[in-house]
Amino acid sequence: MVGIVVDQMRYDYLTKFWHRYGEGGFKRMVNQGFTAKNHHFNYVPTSTGPGHASVYTGTTPSVHGIIGNDWFDKNLGTTVYCASDDSVSPVGTNDAAGKMSPHRMITSTVTDELRLATQLRGKVIGISLKDRGSILPIGHAANAAYWFHGKSEGAWITSSYYMEELPKWVQDFNASDAAEKYKTVWNTLYDINTYTESGSDINDFEGKFTGEATASFPHDIPKLWDANGGFDIVRITPFGNSLTTDFDLAALEGEALGIDADTDFLAISYSSPDYIGHKFGVNSKEVQDNYLRLDKDLERLFNALDQKVGKGEYTVFLTADHGAIHVPAYLQSVKIPAGYFDVSAYKEKLNKFLLKEFETDKLVRYMSDDDIFLNHEVLAEIDEDLDDVLETIANEIITYEGIFQVYTSEQLKTQNYTRGLPYLLQNGFNHKRSGDLLVVLTAPPPVLPVRLARCCRS
């Protein structure tokens, strides 16, 4: 089994660039497999951590507990990262980037069930530039998760949750300086003038690499290297996909996957599309070039599977953990309602109201743009009923500019929503981990945002 998650892949990237794809990548999956065109997300939030966990657990954040990439931990009194784990040690580096595990995910995955069904004989390996992209899909009982540590190291690493030392094949891969070859200029794969499916190369809506005058091609990666985190810049180029594929093929060989009678599972997450989408926006030439190049990496992966595992001896699925919207400033420029929410002003206004209404500035423990955690000890001290306080705050917030809807934890715990935004929010609401109030900003997503899904038997 090979599971592929393309981080931030919108469904329309498949149809939009279809005529530029080769026959061995995306088109092979569609033409030789099954295409699910009506898959939908049934929860909010749709971000990397919840997305990967939901694909592989088959349930929602309300159950598997990965309610965000980061969230406020009520017991610890601080924010936590979905994959962080101070109880484990880095392996392959001395950096804290290696202190990761799946311990915050509270359900099993399909990969866990495979390990149980094969008496742990079936191997499960996770690979991604992002730690959470490799760790969450493979569950708790996996053989190994590997993620990329950039900066000055440029190495694939793991944690002591999985092993005490990197296997020789990983050590050999890192020693080969495989990432070094991607310290090269990023220009378009084809003539940029033929990239008519995306916007202009020079515009006011894209982010630039540090040291660039404009966010336009070509991107001189060697020149930009030091100012952009060394090997970290590779993540924000299609070369990150190529490096991931290189490591996938090394794992296929090094772990002898798919050779014996017990089913193995290789879980791959391509993270560079997400980094590129955030940096340049979904309408950029960079995003288009990324997918044309990713198509070739997929073909390279499938050809290797044909040769080493055998046609008809493996199953591949491809999906996305979430999509992405256009840059709000671009939407504004073409008169489509959009904008930016001033979180600082929102917090300041609400805090002033709470001080006036409840005569304390300690009522809120933590607040972001989409959730509010109350201090229940202070609530008890001022002798206020939780439901009344939540309703009072909700009625105040809903009057603010930029706020579309507000739901209380009591509503999400007691009601049974079956459609619309409250249904999505309820599936993303975990009773122990989520906030006391959930806030939805103006210009909400479609009621059921589409999830890309592909399956191919080969």
Q: Using one digit for the tens of pLDDT, what is the confidence trace for 135-148?
A: 999 999 999 999 99
Q: How many CB atoms lie within 10 A of CB 418?
A: 8
Torsion angles phi and psi, residue 124, rounded to 5: -130, 120
Average pLDDT over residues 91-103: 98
Minimum mean pLDDT range among 126-140, 155-169, 171-185, 368-382? 368-382
Q: How far is CA 72 from the centre of its chain?
A: 18
CA angle 118, 119, 122 (to 5 degrees): 45
Q: What is the pLDDT of residue 177?
A: 87
Q: Does residue 298 register a pLDDT over 60?
A: yes
Q: What is the pLDDT of residue 37?
A: 86
3-state SS class at 257: coil
Distance in angstroms (rounded) separating the CA atoms of residues 300 and 126: 18
Minimum mean pLDDT range among 203-207, 251-255, 320-324, 367-371? 367-371
Distance in angstroms (rounded) separating the CA atoms of residues 318 and 336: 32
CA-wise closest residue to 5 among 122, 128, 114, 110:
128
Average pLDDT over residues 438-443: 88
Number of H helices, E strands in the chain: 17, 15
User: What pTM did the predictor assign?
Assistant: 0.95
On whether the CB atoms of residues 207 and 293 are closer than 8 A, the answer is no
Q: What is the pLDDT of residue 455?
A: 43
Mean pLDDT of the chain, nearest integer: 95
Identify the band that residue 449 occupies on the pLDDT scale cut at 50, 70 and 90.
Answer: very low
Q: What is the pLDDT of residue 239?
A: 98
Q: Does residue 454 register a pLDDT over 90?
A: no
Q: What is the pLDDT of residue 445?
A: 47
Tokens for 410, please give them: 């009591």
Domains of the chain: 2-332+450-457 (3.40.720.10), 343-441 (3.30.1360.150)
Taking only the tens place, the pLDDT of each residue in 334-353 is 999 888 999 999 999 999 99
On whether the CB atoms of residues 10 and 282 are closer than 8 A, the answer is yes
Q: Does residue 447 register a pLDDT over 90?
A: no
Average pLDDT over residues 396-419: 95
Q: What is the pLDDT of residue 443?
A: 65
Helix axes 110-117, 48-57, angle to 10 degrees: 40
> What separation in angstroms does the CA of 153 have from each of 94, 164, 241?
10, 19, 18
Q: What is the pLDDT of residue 39?
A: 85
Q: Which residues have a catalytic role annotated? A: 48
61-89 as b/e: b if 16+ CB within 10 A: bbbbbbbbbebbebeeeeebbbbbbeebe
On whether the CB atoms of residues 377 and 416 are closer than 8 A, the answer is no
